[in-house]
Amino acid sequence: MTETRRVFHEELDAIRSDVIRLGALAGEAIEAATNALLAADLAAVEKVVANDRVLDDLTHDMEQRTCLLLAQQQPMAADLRMLVTVLRVIHEIERIGDLMIKVAKAARRLYPHEIDPKIRGLIDRMRDQAAAQLRLAIEAFADRDVARAAALVDMDDVMDELQKELFQAIFSVRSPDDSTLQLAVQMALVGRFYERAGDHAANVADRVQFMVTGHFSFEPSNADG
Amino acid sequence: MSNIPPTPLAPRPTVAPATEADAAPSPEADTDSPPVFETKQLSVSYGSALAVADINMYIRRGQITALIGPSGCGKSTLLRCFNRMNDLIPDARVEGTILYEGLDLYGDDVDPIEVRRRIGMVFQKPNPFPKSIYDNVAYGPRVLKMKVDRMDDLVEQALRRAALWDEVSGKLKKSAVALSGGQQQRLCIARAIAVQPDVILMDEPCSALDPIATARIEDLMVELKQDYTIVIVTHNMQQAARVSDITAFLTAAVNEATGERHGELVEFAKTATLFTAPADERTEAYITGRFG
């Protein structure tokens, strides 16, 4: 193999590693944003917002490096599919970071109201579910594992169920006055943000399917739907 | 200019039509275009050295078929089989069958000169004759004593088809050697077109050209496939990906007993499939630069 080609393959490996790193950063954002919301920690909210800049910068950097590789190396077959996949999945992951900013900022809007214990429990579970889905999607990408990618479809059903449960819990809160109505709206939105984060993770998995096989074999989820 | 209708080179009633059982593999969903060539167990040797072995493939009408593979895989040898150019190489031996329009191209009563008129060739290095631009184009029809109403019209038509007319119309009597490399190569294509071929074989036609001249030849290939079947050997995979409909990947296989190498066909598929999701791991390794 020529030196130019060796450098190309090293850069492919570096980009693959950075997708994993981006996924880890988004996972940390899910954790930090949820903690900020549940603890009503406004300083932590600021930190979540500031940390998102790291995700954005890494995403843009990866997009530029990928474009450069496409221009310089004209990759084919698995290399081409990997780079096209990277261009798609980095934005799915980056969007998860953006959604977590919205989750964290809900803490500001709710302050100083307490969140109902049942709703807190559901938010906890949605956090865990979103984090698990993202982790699985990133692992599937890293290991080029189609079977694990396909498992994401079932996991997304769990998230949808949690969202339904959350809505039911919101409606069951008694004596709706202005403040509880504000709480209810914010909680419904937060539930939606986790659900969309799960969709983005499922989209990553869908792209992994294409990256490995060159085909899409299961239905893409609709992150904007 | 319309394409000449495919007519048999010579009546060969003894050649049996291909059967389902021995048909060469064909890229999927590609049955609407009839095969111009079909090779069956095609092998070529130079003396005792086997160059390519057991090639089974189709070349389909109106398509551009690219032959790619590492140096020494036999792609140029295979290309030369399609117009019997290997006949001109001492000790070259062709075994197996090549059917052209269903007839044996290597049949005893087939005239290789007529074969090369029907199946023209453009080479790696532009090779205009040291004559005027006009005489280069008119050379083939004159030598073949083709019936031509007006040679001027034929020359103009061929130069137009080769996208060269606008650049040379005012200097047809000037020496062809004075043209740029890209113009010379288009002149060679015009020269090939002038004898009204059915198929044009191109052996790395852009490897001696700069990117702009290369792009013009690539555009020209896509235009020409409306009327001609084109087979191109190229080392430039991006070129194959850009211009061809079907790609055949050949590689050099090593005979474990003798240690000798010979070319073999690894994969033969629609170009879009071969370059994005190849079926064979040897194709994958080659086109991603991991070997060769």
The CATH number for B174's domain is 3.40.50.300
pLDDT, position A54: 97
Please state, in angstroms and rounded to a whole number, the distance separating the CA atoms of residues B232 and B202: 5
CA separation (Å) from B105 to A74, A147, B196, B227? Answer: 38, 50, 18, 21
pLDDT range class, residue A112, cuts 50, 70, 90: confident
User: b vs e for A132-160, b when ≥16 Cβ sit within 10 Å of the residue's Cβ?
Assistant: bbbbbbbbbbeeebbebbbbbeebbeebe
Instruction: Give residues with Cβ within 8 angstroms of A43, minimum separation 6.
Output: none
Chain-centroid distance, C-alpha A18: 15
pLDDT, position B14: 33
For residue B142, tell me if it sits in a domain.
yes
Residues of A within 8 A of B241 (CB-CB) are: 76
Residue A7 reports pLDDT greater than 90 = no
For residue B11, tell me if it sits in a domain.
no
Coil, strand or helix: which one is B36? strand
- The candidate with the shortest Cα–Cα distance to A141, out of A202, A60, A224, is A202
- The candidate with the shortest Cα–Cα distance to B186, out of B169, B212, B205, is B205
B288–A214 C-beta distance less than 8 A:
no
Is residue B34 within 8 A of residue B61, CB to CB? The reply is: yes
CA distance A73 to chain B (A): 10
For residue B61, tell me if it sits in a domain.
yes
Beta bridge partners of B265: B250
pLDDT range class, residue A193, cuts 50, 70, 90: very high
Q: Which residue has the higher pLDDT, A179 or B62?
A: B62
DSSP B81-115: HTTTGGGGSTTEEEEEEEEETTEETT-TT--HHHH
State the pTM of this model.
Answer: 0.80
pLDDT tens sequence across A122-172: 999 999 999 999 999 999 999 999 999 998 878 888 999 999 999 999 888
DSSP A8-24: HHHHHHHHHHHHHHHHH
Rounded (5°) CA angle B244-B82-B80 = 90
Stretch A119-124: mean pLDDT: 95
Q: Which helix (H) or strand (E) holds B230?
A: strand B229-233
Number of domains in chain B: 1
Q: Which of A4, A73, A76 best tests the B interface by mutation, with the highest count of B CBs <10 A?
A: A76
Is residue B77 within 8 A of residue B23, CB to CB? The reply is: no
In the DSSP assignment, the letter for residue B200 is E
| Third-level CATH fold of A3-213 | Methane Monooxygenase Hydroxylase; Chain G, domain 1 (1.20.58)
Percentage, residues of chain B above pLDDT 70:
89
B284–A77 C-beta distance less than 8 A:
yes
Residue A35 reports pLDDT greater than 70 = yes
pLDDT, position B30: 53
Chain-centroid distance, C-alpha A196: 8
Residue A65 reports pLDDT greater than 70 = yes
Q: Which of B267, B276, B286 best tests the A interface by mutation, with the highest count of A CBs <10 A?
A: B276
Q: Which residues of chain B have pLDDT under 70?
A: 1-32, 292
pLDDT, position A45: 96
A8–B289 C-beta distance less than 8 A:
yes
CA distance A66 to chain B (A): 16
Kindly report the average pLDDT of chain A as a whole number: 91
Please state, in angstroms and rounded to a whole number, the distance separating the CA atoms of residues B61 and B199: 9
Beta bridge partners of B166: none
Largest CA distance in chain B: 62
Measure the CA dihedral A9/A14/A18/A21, to 10°.
Answer: 120
A75–B276 C-beta distance less than 8 A:
no
For residue B73, tell me if it sits in a domain.
yes
**Residue-number span of the structural domain to which B209 is assigned:** 35-287
Interface of A with B in 20-79 (CB under 8 A): 73-79
Is residue B26 within 8 A of residue B20, CB to CB? The reply is: no
pLDDT tens sequence across B19-50: 444 445 556 545 567 899 999 999 999 999 99
Interface membership of B289 toward A (CB under 8 Å): yes
Percentage, residues of chain A above pLDDT 90:
74
Kindly report the average pLDDT of chain B as a whole number: 88
H helices present in A74-116, as ranges:
77-110
Instruction: Say which residue the tokens 């800049």 belong to.
Output: A53
Is residue B158 within 8 A of residue B193, CB to CB? The reply is: yes
Please state, in angstroms and rounded to a whole number, the distance separating the CA atoms of residues B118 and B148: 17
For chain A, what are the domain ranges? Answer: 3-213
pLDDT range class, residue A111, cuts 50, 70, 90: confident
Beta bridge partners of B97: B40
Interface membership of A175 toward B (CB under 8 Å): no
CA distance B160 to chain A (A): 33
* ipTM (interface pTM): 0.71
For residue B45, tell me if it sits in a domain.
yes
Please count the other Cβ atoms lying within 10 Å of the Cβ belonging to residue A64: 10
Coil, strand or helix: which one is B14? coil
